[in-house]
C-alpha cells in the first residue's frame, strides 16, 4: 500500500482536513451525553423548565454544527479518494503500456483489466473510508472511555476491559480475512478471463455448438470465486455479531453497576444515562470500525495486487538514441556490397518467447538493403511474425543482434524506432472514433492530402467514401467493417507515417487476389529508398520481391529470388505449387 500513497501527495490538504473535521464532529458528539445528563439531573430532576429549554437548544445547535462539519469532512474525503484513484488508474495504465510484450504476455489481459477496474475501485473505497473513519472511530471509542472516567472510575473500568477484548477480536478477524480476500480477487481474474474469451470467441463457440461446455466451464470458474468469497464473507461476518454481543454485555454491566451505585448515592440517574450513551456510542463506532476493517482488508488486498504490477519492470530498456546512417547515394543502390546501405540486418539471431522451452528463431542471418523489398514465407509457426516483432523491437532477441541502419536496434530510443519502422500487424485493429482519428494515430501531423494518398495506396479510398468520408464512424474494434476493410485501413494508417522501413505482417490475408494485386502494384510506387518487408502465406504476394526468406520451424531454410527458390528450395516449391491453381 505504501507504494500507492505517493498518488495522494497532491491531496495532502484534503487528507488532513477530512479526518480533522471528522474528529471535530466526534468532539461535539461526545458532549451530547453530558448535556443529556445535565438535562435529566438539573432540568427534569430539579424541575427547572428554563434549564430544560437551554439544554434542548444546545442539543439542536450541536446537531446542526455536527451535520455541517460531517458534510465538510465527507467532501474532502471524497475529493481525495477520487483524485487518488484517477491518478492511480492513469499511472497504472501508463505503466502497462510501457511494459514490453514479454511482460504483457506474462500478466495476461484479463488480469490487467481487473487491476484497472475492480482493484482500483477497492483501493478508492479504502482511502475514502480510511479518511472518514480511521481516526474518528478510535477517537470516539477512547474519548467515550475517557469521558466515562470523568464520571465514575469504577464503572469506566468496564469500558477498558470491553474495548481491549473488542480490539483483540477485530485484530484476529483481520489477520484471517486479508489472505482470504486476496485469493478471492485472484479468482476474479479467472472470471474476467473467461468472460472476455467467451465474448471474443462467441461465433466459434456457436459454430461448434459448445455453448454447454462453455457454460459449464464458466460455472466452475464462478463457483470457485463464490466459494472463496463465501469463505472471506464467513470470516468478516463474525465481526458485527461479536461486536454487538461484547458491547451489549458491556452495556448490561454498566447499567447493573450504575444502578447499584445510584442506590448507594454515588452516581445520579443522569450520570448513569450518560455512561449508557457513551457505551452505545462505542457500539455504533465499533460497528463502523468493523465495516471499515472489512473495507480496508479488501483495499489492502487490491493494493498489494496493484503494487505487484508496478513492481514489474520492463525487461526491455530504452536506448539512449543514435543517429541512423541513412545517407546513401541513390545511384549506388544496385550494389549489394556497400555495407553502408544496410537497412536491416539479422546477425546470428535467436529468440525464445517467455515461458517457452524451445527457440522460436534460431541462428537467423540476413541483410536487407535500403530500397529493397524482402518477402518472408513459411509454414504456420515457422517464425514469420516473430521476425516482424523483432524488427519493430516488440521483443528483444535472446541471442545475436538486430541492426537498423548500422546500429544495434537496442541503441535507438523508442521515438526513433517509431520514426524508422512502420508495422501493419497480422490482426487488424481499429479504435472507436472516426476514420480520420484512426489514420492520424500514427501520424498526428499528417495533412488531409497525405491521408488520402495513403488510403489510395492501401486500396481503401472507396471504402471510406462508401461509409461517408473521413468523419464516418468507426465502432469499437472496427465492428462495422469487414476483415479485409480493416486490414486496408490499418495499412493506410501505417503508410501515412512515411517510415523508411515498412513491415507488412500478413496484412493482406483477408484480401482477394485482385485487390492484393492492386495493393502490390501500389506499394511499388513507394519511395525507392523505403525498405519493405512483406510477410505472407501467398507466393504471389512476394514473387516480385528482391529477396525472399523461407523459414521452417524457426530456421532460415533458404534465401533467394522467386525463380532461384523454385529451382533450389523444395519447401518453397511445394508452397508455390499448392497455390498455383488458385493464383491462375
pLDDT at 584: 47
Set of cell numbers at residue 450? 497525405
Place of cell 489477520: 175
- What's the pLDDT at 1? 64
Q: Measuring CA to CA, which residue among 555, 553, 552, 554 is closest to residue 573?
A: 552
Beta strands at 501-505 and 342-351: parallel, antiparallel or unpaired: unpaired
Q: Mention every residue, 6+ apart, whose C-beta is less than 8 A from residue 583.
A: 513, 538, 539, 540
Q: Which three cell numbers stand for residue 263?
A: 442506590
Per-residue confidence (pLDDT) for residue 560, from 0 to 100: 93
Nearest in space to 574 (alpha carbons), one of 364, 377, 365 = 377
* DSSP, residue by residue, 307-325: HHHHTPPPSSPPP------
Pairing outcome for strands 433-434 and 473-474: antiparallel
| Residue 339 confidence (pLDDT) | 46
Cα separation, 181 vs 178, in Å, equals 5
Query: What is the sign, positive or negative, of the torsion defined by CA atoms of 444, 448, 450, 452?
Result: positive
The predicted structure's pLDDT at residue 484: 86
Tell me what pLDDT residue 563 has: 92
Strand partners, 547: 374
* Residue 458 DSSP symbol: T
Q: Could you tell me if 259 and 351 lie in one domain?
A: no
Does residue 499 lie within any of the structural domains? yes
* Residue 561 clears pLDDT 50, i.e. is over it: yes
Alpha-carbon distance of 452 to 457, in angstroms, equals 9
Per-residue model confidence (pLDDT) at position 354: 80
CATH code of the domain containing 266: 1.20.1560.10
Name the one residue in this structure whose C-alpha cell is 500507492: 4
* 433-460 tens-digit pLDDT: 998 998 888 788 888 888 898 899 888 8
Same domain, 388 and 456: yes
Q: What percent of the chain has pLDDT over 90?
A: 24
Please name which of 506, 483, 485, 503 lies closest in space to residue 494, comparing C-alpha atoms: 503
196 and 233 Cβ atoms separated by less than 8 Å: no
Query: What is the value of pTM for the model shown?
Result: 0.69
How do 373-378 and 399-404 pair as beta strands? Answer: unpaired
Q: How confident is the model at residue 140 (pLDDT cuts 50, 70, 90)?
A: confident
The pLDDT, as a whole number, for residue 327 is 63
Residue 529 forms part of a structural domain: yes
Please give the grid coordinates belonging to residue 434. Answer: 472516426
Number of Cα atoms under 13 Å in the Cβ half of residue 245 = 7
Q: Which of 350, 493, 343 is nearest to 425 (CA)?
A: 493
Cβ within 8 Å of residue 287, ≥6 positions away: 240, 243, 244
pLDDT of residue 87: 93
Supply the pLDDT for residue 296.
83
How far, in Å, are 94, 238, 512 from residue 177 at the CA level?
31, 11, 59
Distance CA 80, CA 243 (A): 30
Mean pLDDT of the chain: 85
pLDDT of residue 116: 87
Q: In this structure, is residue 320 part of a structural domain?
A: no
Structural domain count of the chain: 2
| Per-residue pLDDT at 329 exceeds 60 | no
Do residues 554 and 352 lie in contact, with contact meaning Cβ atoms separated by under 8 Å? no
The strand pair at 421-424 and 433-434 is best described as: unpaired
348 and 256, same domain (yes or no): no
* Residues β-bridged to residue 474: 433
Are 158 and 272 in a shared domain? Answer: yes
Q: Is residue 344 part of a domain?
A: yes
Q: What is the model's pLDDT at position 246?
A: 82
pLDDT at 363 over 70: yes
Whether 2 is covered by a domain: the verdict is no
Do 152 and 287 reside in the same domain of the chain? yes
pLDDT score of 523:
83
Residue 13 resides in a domain: yes
What distances in angstroms separate CA 6 from CA 3, 153, 584, one per listed residue? 7, 44, 65
Task: Give the three-class secondary structure for 516.
Answer: helix
- Reported as a single tens digit per residue, the pLDDT across 14-59 is 999 999 999 898 888 888 888 888 888 888 877 888 888 998 999 8
Other residues' Cβ atoms within 10 Å of the Cβ of residue 272:
22
- The CA distances from residue 277 to 37, 52, 148, 162, 245, in Å, are 10, 19, 10, 15, 17
Range of the domain at 43: 8-310
Beta strands 361-369 and 547-552 are unpaired
Span 129-140, average pLDDT: 86
Which residue among 269, 294, 310 closes a domain? 310
**What three-state secondary structure class fits 552?**
strand
pLDDT tens digits for range 198-253: 877 887 888 888 888 888 888 898 898 888 888 888 887 887 788 778 878 888 88
Q: Are 465 and 472 in contact (CB under 8 A)?
A: no
Of 85, 95, 114, 92, which Cα lies nearest the Cα of 8?
A: 85
Q: Are residues 133 and 219 in the same domain?
A: yes
For the ranges 279-283, 420-424, 428-432, 577-581, the lowest mean pLDDT is seen at 577-581
- Same structural domain for residues 266 and 345? no
Give 72's pLDDT tier (boundaries 50, 70, 90): very high
Region 492-514: mean pLDDT is: 86
Q: Which has the higher per-residue pLDDT, 387 or 5?
A: 387
What pLDDT sits at residue 581?
A: 57
- Mean of pLDDT values over 119-147: 87
Rounded to the nearest 5 degrees, what angle is found at the Cα of 399, between the Cα atoms of 531 and 546? 25
Q: For position 202, what pLDDT does the model report? A: 81
132 and 171 belong to one structural domain: yes
In this structure, what C-alpha cell is assigned to residue 368?
536487407
360 belongs to a structural domain = yes
At 338, the pLDDT band (50, 70, 90 cuts) reads very low
Q: Burial letters for 293-332: b for 16+ Cβ neighbours within 10 Å, e otherwise?
A: bbbbbbbbbbbbbbeebeeeeeebebbeeeebbeebeeee
pLDDT of residue 332: 42
* Residue in 420, 413, 421, 463 with CA at minimum distance from that of residue 438: 463
- State the virtual CA torsion across 293, 298, 300, 302 in degrees, nearest 10: -170
One domain for residues 149 and 268: yes
More confident residue, 157 or 584: 157
434 and 565 in a single domain? The answer is yes
Question: How wide is the angle at C-alpha 449 spanned by C-alphas 472 and 434, nearest 5°?
Answer: 20
pLDDT of residue 335: 44
298 and 347 within one domain = no
Task: Report the pLDDT value the prediction gives residue 330, as an integer from 0 to 100.
Answer: 46
Do both 58 and 137 map to the same domain? yes
The CATH number of whichever domain residue 480 belongs to comes to 3.40.50.300
- Residue at 321 is within a domain: no
For residues 109 and 461, which has the higher predicted lDDT (pLDDT)? 461
Virtual torsion, Cα 265, 268, 273, 279, nearest 10 deg: -60
- Report d(CA 408, CA 344) in Å as an integer: 10
β-pair type (421-424, 373-378): unpaired
- Rg (C-alpha) for the chain, rounded Å, is 35
> What is the Cα–Cα distance from 74 to 77, expressed in whole angstroms?
5
Average pLDDT over residues 554-574: 92
Confidence check: pLDDT of 168 > 90: no
Amino acid at each position: 500500500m505504501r507504494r500507492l500513497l505517493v498518488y495522494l501527495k497532491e491531496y495532502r490538504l484534503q487528507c488532513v482536513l477530512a479526518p480533522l473535521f471528522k474528529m471535530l464532529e466526534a468532539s461535539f458528539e461526545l458532549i451530547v451525553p453530558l448535556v443529556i445528563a445535565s438535562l435529566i439531573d438539573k432540568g427534569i430532576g430539579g424541575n427547572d423548565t428554563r434549564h430544560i429549554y437551554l439544554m434542548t437548544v444546545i442539543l439542536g445547535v450541536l446537531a446542526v454544527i455536527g451535520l455541517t462539519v460531517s458534510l465538510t469532512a465527507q467532501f474532502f474525503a471524497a475529493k481525495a479518494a477520487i483524485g487518488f484513484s484517477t491518478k492511480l488508474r492513469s499511472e497504472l495504465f501508463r505503466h502497462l503500456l510501457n511494459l514490453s510484450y514479454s511482460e504483457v504476455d506474462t500478466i495476461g489481459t484479463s488480469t490487467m483489466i481487473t487491476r484497472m477496474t475492480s482493484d482500483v475501485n477497492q483501493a478508492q473505497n479504502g482511502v475514502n473510508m480510511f479518511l472518514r473513519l480511521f481516526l474518528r472511530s478510535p477517537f470516539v471509542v477512547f474519548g467515550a472511555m475517557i469521558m466515562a472516567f470523568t464520571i465514575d472510575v469504577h464503572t469506566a473500568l468496564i469500558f477498558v476491559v470491553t474495548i481491549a477484548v473488542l480490539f483483540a477480536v477485530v485484530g484476529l478477524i483481520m489477520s484471517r480475512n486479508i489472505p482470504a480476500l486476496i485469493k478471492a480477487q485472484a479468482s476474479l481474474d479467472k472470471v474476467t478471463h473467461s468472460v472476455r474469451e467467451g465474448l471474443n470467441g462467441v461465433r466459434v463457440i456457436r459454430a461448434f455448438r459448445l455453448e454447454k461446455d462453455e457454460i459449464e466451464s464458466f460455472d466452475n470458474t464462478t463457483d470457485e470465486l463464490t466459494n472463496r468469497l463465501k469463505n472471506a464473507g464467513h470470516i468478516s461476518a463474525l465481526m458485527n455479531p461479536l461486536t454487538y454481543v461484547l458491547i451489549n454485555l458491556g452495556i448490561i454491566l454498566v447499567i447493573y453497576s450504575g444502578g447499584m451505585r445510584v442506590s448507594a448515592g454515588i452516581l445520579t440517574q443522569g450520570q448513569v444515562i450518560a455512561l449508557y450513551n457513551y457505551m452505545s456510542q462505542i457500539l455504533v463506532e465499533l460497528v463502523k470500525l468493523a465495516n471499515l476493517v472489512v473495507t480496508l482488508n479488501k483495499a489492502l488486498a487490491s493494493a498489494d495486487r496493484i503494487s505487484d504490477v508496478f513492481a514489474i519492470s520492463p525487461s526491455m530498456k530504452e536506448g539512449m538514441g543514435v543517429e541512423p546512417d541513412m545517407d546513401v547515394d541513390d545511384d549506388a543502390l544496385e550494389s549489394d556490397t556497400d555495407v553502408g546501405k544496410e537497412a536491416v540486418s539479422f546477425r546470428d539471431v535467436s529468440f525464445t518467447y517467455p515461458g517457452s522451452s524451445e527457440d522460436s528463431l534460431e541462428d537467423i542471418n540476413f541483410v536487407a538493403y535500403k530500397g529493397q523489398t524482402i518477402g518472408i514465407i513459411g509454414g504456420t509457426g515457422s517464425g514469420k511474425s516473430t521476425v516482424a516483432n523483432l524488427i519493430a523491437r516488440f521483443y528483444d532477441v535472446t541471442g545475436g543482434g538486430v541492426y537498423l541502419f548500422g546500429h544495434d536496434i537496442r541503441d535507438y530510443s523508442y521515438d526513433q524506432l517509431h520514426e524508422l519502422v512502420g508495422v501493419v500487424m497480422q490482426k487488424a485493429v481499429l479504435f472507436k472514433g472516426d476514420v480520420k482519428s484512426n489514420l492520424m494515430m500514427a501520424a498526428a501531423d499528417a495533412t488531409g492530402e497525405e491521408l488520402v494518398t495513403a488510403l489510395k495506396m492501401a486500396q481503401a479510398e472507396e471504402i471510406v467514401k462508401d461509409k461517408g468520408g473521413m468523419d464516418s464512424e468507426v465502432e469499437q474494434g472496427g465492428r462495422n467493417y469487414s476483415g479485409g476493410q480493416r486490414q486496408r485501413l490499418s495499412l493506410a494508417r501505417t503508410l501515412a507515417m512515411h517510415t523508411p522501413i515498412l513491415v507488412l505482417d500478413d496484412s493482406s490475408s483477408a484480401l482477394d487476389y485482385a485487390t492484393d494485386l492492386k495493393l502490390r502494384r501500389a506499394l511499388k510506387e513507394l519511395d525507392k529508398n523505403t525498405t519493405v518487408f512483406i510477410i505472407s502465406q501467398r507466393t504471389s504476394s512476394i514473387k516480385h520481391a528482391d529477396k525472399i526468406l523461407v523459414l521452417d520451424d524457426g530456421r532460415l531454410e533458404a534465401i533467394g529470388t522467386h525463380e532461384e527458390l523454385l529451382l533450389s528450395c523444395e519447401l518453397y516449391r511445394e508452397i508455390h505449387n499448392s497455390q498455383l491453381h488458385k493464383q491462375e
